[in-house]
Amino acid sequence: MKKLVYLILFVTFYANSQSYTVIHTIGKIYDTSSDSYLKKGSKISEKSSLKFETEGARAAALSSTRGRFVIQKEAKDASSNDIAYALASVISPVRGKLSTRAGAINNKLDFQKYFQKGSIALLGETYKIDVSQGSYPINDSKFFYAQYMLNGESINKKLGGENGRIVMDISEFFSVDGSTIDSGSVDDIKLFYYDVTEGTSTFISDMSLVKITDQEIEPLLQEFQADDEGLLEILNALYGSVSQDALNEFRSSK
């Protein structure tokens, strides 16, 4: 009986003494326990209380015994940034990398399944989507374009194409009148297919796209130099879906 009590006390103490090391942050998260903002290398414990001072703020952290974790409050929680959250209420284990979005898209339903799994994170200079040339030929008279809202204004962006692929120039997509815009300032992204001869524009799907900047990706590349699985887990947890193919293409461009 005494051994059981000691075991319970040990497990309880061990659980309460868990610590985490922050490896990446997005936005400003204030640790009231240490009176400091989270940054790479910060140590936090189960007793920490955190304030999310910027919209969408989140962080990735490691536990030496429990693996990788993401720290973020629920998106639907619009509480004031003055509220401090107990770490246990905003930390969750990384669920693993998402499956690769493979195979050519043949119809509208395929497009919707492709995009409605969640946000897609964009790396590097281009983003490519394989599509059926029979269903969606891409040429001067038939092409895809995207539409999004920026500060209440509707912006249209024609998308390039090559050999059965939609090819998005990421820098051009997130620019207006020659000026770069933050991908986070864009709302309500929609994909359309346009037929010049028929003069018809067909709605295809809603999209959620997030651009990962060089400043954001470089520390993670250093952290996970020989661990693509770990890197993909963190990217998928913090930003959105990134396939192994997209990561390989990005690495080869460096």
Determine contact, residues 28/58, Cβ cutoff 8 Å. no
pLDDT tens, the chain, 254 aa long: 544 444 444 444 444 557 899 999 999 999 999 999 999 999 999 889 999 999 889 999 999 888 899 999 986 665 667 789 999 999 999 875 554 555 679 999 999 998 887 899 999 899 999 999 999 999 999 999 999 999 999 999 999 998 789 999 999 999 999 899 998 899 999 999 999 999 999 999 999 999 998 889 988 988 888 888 899 999 999 999 998 888 888 888 87
Give me the sign of the Cα torsion angle 239, 113, 181, 186.
negative
Other CB atoms within 10 A of residue 245 CB: 12
pLDDT of amino acid 79: 61
Determine contact, residues 84/49, Cβ cutoff 8 Å. yes
Q: Which residue has the tokens 């990421």?
A: 170
Determine contact, residues 104/132, Cβ cutoff 8 Å. yes
| E strand or H helix that includes residue 207 | strand 200-207
pLDDT of amino acid 32: 94
Q: Which residues pair with 195 in a beta bridge?
A: 142, 200
pTM of the model: 0.80
